[in-house]
Amino acid sequence: MVLKLMLASMAAFAARAVPVVAALPQSKSFVAGASGEMEMQPSPIEPSWILAGDPVARIAEHSRGQDDAAMTALWDCTAGEFRWYFGWDETVMILEGEVHITTEDGVERTLSAGDVAYFAGGTWATWRIDRYLRKVAFLRKPFPKPLTMAYRLRNFVRQGGAQGLAA
């Protein structure tokens, strides 16, 4: 009994003596702030993508998922027309201004303040901004195709799809 008490005391002392840097990193379970106070950084558009004008883009990262597979950012841009490659799945909400979008398959749409749109990762779209645009972007890295198929199979099985195959 005394030995157990001594071991417990030593363990407690050792735990208190461990430096803070050895502790697990704290998670950011809640991030908030006024969008007007976020520091915008230059985010140049790839010159070969620019079709007209001299658009100047900036970005401010708001938050990032712990696994680096998701991110929220503010983005703004001056007038111009350019092609844009979406490397990540991206949902946008237009905060200010207006943009004319043409997708790879020819769908045309004008987005203005309050509109929400989704762009699949791995796709292109042409953006035409006549004056100024400010948006919030919610980005998520797409899963590799084999992993996507595994998730779809898992969901199929969970939804009882396997029962239909067994019958």
Q: Nearest 5°: phi and psi at 45?
A: -80, 135
Query: What was the pLDDT predicted at 49?
Result: 98
Burial of 91 (0-12, 13-18, 19+ CB in 10 A): middle
Query: What was the pLDDT predicted at 48?
Result: 98
Burial of 49 (0-12, 13-18, 19+ CB in 10 A): middle
* All residues at 6 or more sequence positions from 80 whose CB lies less than 8 Å from its CB, including other chains: 45, 50, 52, 53, 54, 55, 56, 128, 129
* Residues 97 and 133: beta-carbon distance below 8 Å: yes
Query: What was the pLDDT predicted at 15?
Result: 38
Question: What residues in the chain have per-residue pLDDT under 50?
Answer: 2-3, 5-26, 164, 167
Query: What was the pLDDT predicted at 2?
Result: 47
Query: What was the pLDDT predicted at 7?
Result: 41
Cβ atoms within 10 Å, residue 105: 7
Query: What was the pLDDT predicted at 31?
Result: 72
Q: Is the pTM of this model over 0.75?
A: no
Rounded distance, CA 51 to CA 85, Å?
14
Query: pLDDT tens digits for 36-75?
Result: 788 999 999 999 999 999 999 999 999 998 888 999 999 9
If DSSP states are collapsed to H, E and C, what string results for 4-58?
HHHHHHHHHHHHHHCCHHHCCCCCCCCCCCCHHHCCCEECCCCHHHEEEECCCEE
In this structure, which topology does domain 41-140 adopt according to CATH?
Jelly Rolls (2.60.120)
* Residues 64 and 71: beta-carbon distance below 8 Å: yes
Domain ranges of the chain: 41-140
Query: What was the pLDDT predicted at 139?
Result: 96
Query: What was the pLDDT predicted at 167?
Result: 45
